[in-house]
Structure 1
Amino acid sequence: MTFKRLPSLTKTVLEQLKPLKLHRKDSQTQVSHFKHVSSYLIKDELLSSVLEASGLKNAYDNEDMTILEMSPGSGANSIALYNYFQPKRHVLLEPRKAFFSHISSLTKNTDGRMVLHERDGYSWATYSELYQKHPEYFYQQTSKEVRLGPNRRFLFTGHLPAGTPGILLGTQFVMHLIQRDWLGILGRVRLLLWMSPELAYILLACNGYKSRSSLSVLRELMCQIRVLAAPVEFMDTLKKGYLHSSAVTYPVMKTISTTDEAFAPSANPLVLIDISCTSYQSDVPLDILEYVIQSLLVQKSQPLKETVSRLCPGAENLVPLLKKRGVDIQESSVTASAKSLENIARIYHKWPFRPKVMTSTLLEKP
């Protein structure tokens, strides 16, 4: 069957879509995140140029590929991805009534490849239902395929909501992949997500970043990440977050300014992140690893020889052992490498006097 490309959004359609927001009133749904006004891509040409430069087409078997997309909004993201990958199926999760007629018109021109489900992509129940009713959407990698690279038949994409809800949801998405939960049961699934710069900073942060979090460390240990598109000033702002001049930066394939008018209803550009898990899985149980990292990051500026005592009563006795195992105990948890923090967690896990049940839970902003 000959593949039919979807046309770009016309100026008339763009003018109709620009004012639409994620408010509950607009969508006529009862989804709590819709009270937060979020932006969505309205220029598919921008993403098309990014995808052409990304080389991602070689990472997928398009004839067997499924794209699962949440909150497509205007459909610009959908058009660019559909035309670039030419997938076997492209599944859209969109609960907002205001977008239905427009998105339905897109699906009619795809010979059944593109399918709209009037479901909320920000609800966990949606994925359970899809997995049960449409198992053909989900390809689970073999153990050999996991070792070789990311899932070549399944891609997840979409727009995250604005503000704190977007940060929390994005954090959960990445953590579930690391834990091999949610879509992580399919193997090394790639996420292509439009997100706020604030969440992107968290995911990109490495040692030396002042606002480093446990998510930053776990991402560095077990995920690979790329910045496909970002605001012009994005990397400069990231650099300012570091304690020293040797800040870790990333190449940006496409810079976006507000004058590009590529997003609506707010013209402020989002960041497009490409993230997937590596084949590496720590030998330290994830709950122990996360607990140790969170505990050490509570007092970011203090040397490790001081903060280790937070792990449990008597943990200060681990300091000589940490030193013997090559841990620089004079470093702080902010400046220590991710591998060094993992090593501390490994030593703590094997320590015979460690409490077998963690009696406290640390609440930390991601």
Structure 2
Amino acid sequence: MVHSLHATLLRPAAAWARQAVRPRVVLAAAAVRASSSSAPAAAAPAPAPAVAAAPVAEPVAPATGTDAAAEAEPKPKRGRPPGERARKNAANAAALEGSLEDIAGARAAFEKHPHWTFALHHFEQLREQRRKEHEDSGDTEPIDRVSPGEAQALRELGVPRVKQFRRVPMSIFRELQRGGYEPERIVEVLQYFDANNRSMPPDLYRHSMTGRISASATRVRRLPRQPPPPPPELGPVLHADPYDNFPEHMPPLDQWRHELEPKILGYLGKGRYFVRSRSLAERIVEEMDLDGKQGVTVVEAYAGVGSVTRLLLDHPAVDKVLAMEDNPSMLSFLERLKTDETLSRGLPGDRLYIEKGNAYRWTTYERMRRAGAFDHLQDPAAVQDGGFVMGPVSPRSHDAPDWQKPSSIIFLCHLPNSVHGEQLYAQLVAAVASRGWLFQYGRVKMVVLCSEALALRALAQPGTKHRHKLGVTTQTLTDVREAVEPSELTPLASHIYPCPLSKELLSAEKVDSLERDRAAESRQHRADYRLRKSLIVVEPKAQPLLVTREMEAFEHMVRNTFVLRSQPIRISMEHLAPGAINVLRKLHPDHPDMQDRQDEAINPDTPVWSLTIKQWVALSKAYDKWPFRPKMLLDEFSVFKERSMNRQK
């Protein structure tokens, strides 16, 4: 057994020696021939002709003795010096066959290869076990030679596996040794790692950063990734016929470019548009819920060219349409409806009233009232009480009979994509609390074609990123729902005109309605987010949660607390007024007065945008009763600025 081990280690050394000696003999012979040919001709005897004519294999040029010696020296090889491998093999063989002291002295040769280090470690363990057994037996003879069993174990665990584990990194071997694993276990791990595409066994885990090897049970695993939710079922798309000449009082579609483009300058800059598809116009009339009603009056703001106005005049339930438009280029097409004989109910006559004014200004409604546009809505009881006064506050209360029953007035608005459009919507919703504006005539339903951004804020639920003051005010005073989603109006250019030139809005691909909840990073996406359209229906509550005297404190509190809408409500109340944090103490869930009203109780650590409508109402009422709240809650400068802007229009 030992003899075979020697042959395995020394055979490469003998082969290298045969290859190394042969070039030296050839070079030595060449050097002798070169030195003999360079001797002086006078000193040498005259050669015989036969000898002189002897053929020479390769002619050698005359050279000095120094040049010949330089050519005779072998060129050094790159890498390992000659004979080093043979010397190491001999030292390893002597160490394996020598005594215990020789093996300890030859450790430096084995440590240069990890698997030989492992073999030597296992061999030393066998030697130590044998030494203990030898001492226990009482034998006094020293142990100088390697036993056949030790040599067999050394050969099986060490030398034959050097080529087998050639793909195993040294770091894995050292980590296994540092972990105190048994030699047999180390060999199993190395075999598994080499045969399974450099992966660890299932019961072991190697850290990707530190390289430490530990049991898989101690590994901190991530939670399994949840499968994505199934895609929602999208509603039907409103298909628009591109060849439908709608509305009929307009020129053909192929002439719009010449008829409307010169007049549309400044129209799109103000965020204005009008409905151009019959399917969208019919859907708007359908959401008004006119079936089964009689004597309905529709107040249409920003009527445009009168595409929806035409369908309203043809509907049998509509008694009168009050259309407002301030753009001169659109008024010329809107006034054609007065003389249009193609209407199903004939010429409109008094059923159509056109007001040349902006629906954003309160003076427009006052001018309509003085012109008698609302005379058919006043009942005798109202006239005896002094009539209706168009202003911010109405003497009527929400307990009146005209408020409890459905109103015969419907307000339709094509809301512009501008700041003034959002301000108009906020003012109309706030007028519900005071029964101002058209709410003097009853509980008026509002159908608004607005941008997707405004619809998201009006419909935002607690805890969502779109939750803001506009949504809290809308849901406190009214019941709002989304009648037409933006995904149904695809492509948008087929439903409204003029349409902003956007690649996404002009595409015929339907957009998922849930896609609007994602974060909008690009500038174009933010622009499309504001330009996409949505139809919402806003109906005032029969009993609003707040009345006129409480709206001032509510507006002041909501406007200022939503500045820090992601912060806890206690932090926002500290910025509201000095000592305003004391208002939250009466609304704490542990307060005795809140035991029966837990749905109105407020935890001070609740974020501002996570408060429910009932919590906002309870907080505003408590803030209104707080004796130390500021008395001047309305910014006079903002009111003066808004009035000056209205005068400039």
Confirm or deny a common fold (TM above 0.5): yes
- Check whether the contact 2:492–2:499 (CA below 8 A) recurs between aligned residues: no
In 2: Cα distance, 1:345 partner to 1:259 partner? 41
SS at match of 2:481: strand
Partner of 2:17: none
Partner of 1:212: 467
Question: Where in structure 2 are the equivalents of 1:83-102 lying within 5 Å?
Answer: 83-84=314-315, 86-102=317-333
- Check whether the contact 1:90–1:115 (CA below 8 A) recurs between aligned residues: yes
Q: Does 1:272 align with 2:505?
A: no
| Cα shift readout 1:8-61 (whole Å, capped 9, x = no counterpart) | 52484444456747988678xxxxxx7424221012332214544x37115x74
Partner of 1:227: 482
Q: 1:136 aligns with which of 366, 375, 394?
A: 375
| Cα shift readout 1:155-204 (whole Å, capped 9, x = no counterpart) | 11131222323222222222233432222222221111221112212211
- Check whether the contact 1:178–1:277 (CA below 8 A) recurs between aligned residues: no
- Check whether the contact 2:337–2:348 (CA below 8 A) recurs between aligned residues: no
SS at match of 1:291: helix
In 1: Cα distance, 2:470 partner to 2:410 partner? 22
1:294 to partner: Cα distance: 1.9
Which deviates further from its counterpart, 99-108 or 72-81? 99-108
Flag the 1:17–1:195 CA change in 2: closer, same or farther, 3 A.
farther
Partner of 1:347: 622
- Check whether the contact 1:22–1:37 (CA below 8 A) recurs between aligned residues: no
Aligned sequence identity (%): 21
Question: Where in structure 2 are the equivalents of 1:91-240 lying within 5 Å?
Answer: 91-108=322-339, 109=341, 110-112=347-349, 113-134=351-372, 135-136=374-375, 138-139=377-378, 143-149=400-406, 151=407, 153-232=408-487
State the AA in 1 paired with 2:429.
Answer: V
1:319 to partner: Cα distance: 3.2
Q: Does 1:43 align with 2:282?
A: no
Flag the 1:354–1:91 CA change in 2: closer, same or farther, 3 A.
closer
- Check whether the contact 1:67–1:89 (CA below 8 A) recurs between aligned residues: yes
State the AA in 2 paired with 1:39.
Answer: Y
TM-score by length of 1: 0.77
In 2: Cα distance, 1:262 partner to 1:103 partner? 18
List alignment gaps of at least 5 residues for structure 1.
1-6, 28-33, 233-254
Q: 2:561 aligns with which of 296, 308, 315?
A: 296
Alignment: residue pair count = 324
Partner of 1:249: none
Flag the 1:188–1:359 CA change in 2: closer, same or farther, 3 A.
closer
SS at match of 1:66: strand
State the AA in 2 paired with 1:305.
Answer: R
State the AA in 2 paired with 1:66.
Answer: T
TM-score by length of 2: 0.45
In 2: Cα distance, 1:216 partner to 1:293 partner? 11
In 2: Cα distance, 1:200 partner to 1:22 partner? 32
In 1: Cα distance, 2:543 partner to 2:620 partner? 16
Q: Considering fraction of residues, name the structure with more helix.
A: 2
Larger radius of gyration: 2
Instruction: Indicate the structure whose relative CO is greater, using CA pairs within 8 Å and at least 6 residues apart.
Output: 1
State the AA in 2 paired with 1:258.
Answer: P
SS at match of 1:208: coil
List alignment gaps of at least 5 residues for structure 2.
1-244, 342-346, 383-395, 506-531, 595-600, 639-649
- Check whether the contact 1:120–1:126 (CA below 8 A) recurs between aligned residues: yes
SS at match of 2:300: strand
SS at match of 2:610: coil
Q: Considering fraction of residues, name the structure with more strand.
A: 1
Q: Does 1:356 align with 2:612?
A: no
In 2: Cα distance, 1:177 partner to 1:17 partner? 40
Q: Does 1:257 align with 2:505?
A: no
Q: 2:603 aligns with which of 321, 325, 328?
A: 328
SS at match of 2:247: coil
Partner of 1:67: 298
- Check whether the contact 2:550–2:620 (CA below 8 A) recurs between aligned residues: no
In 2: Cα distance, 1:209 partner to 1:327 partner? 18
Flag the 1:98–1:279 CA change in 2: closer, same or farther, 3 A.
same
Question: Where in structure 2 are the equivalents of 1:307-326 lying within 5 Å?
Answer: 307-323=572-588, 324=591, 325=594, 326=601
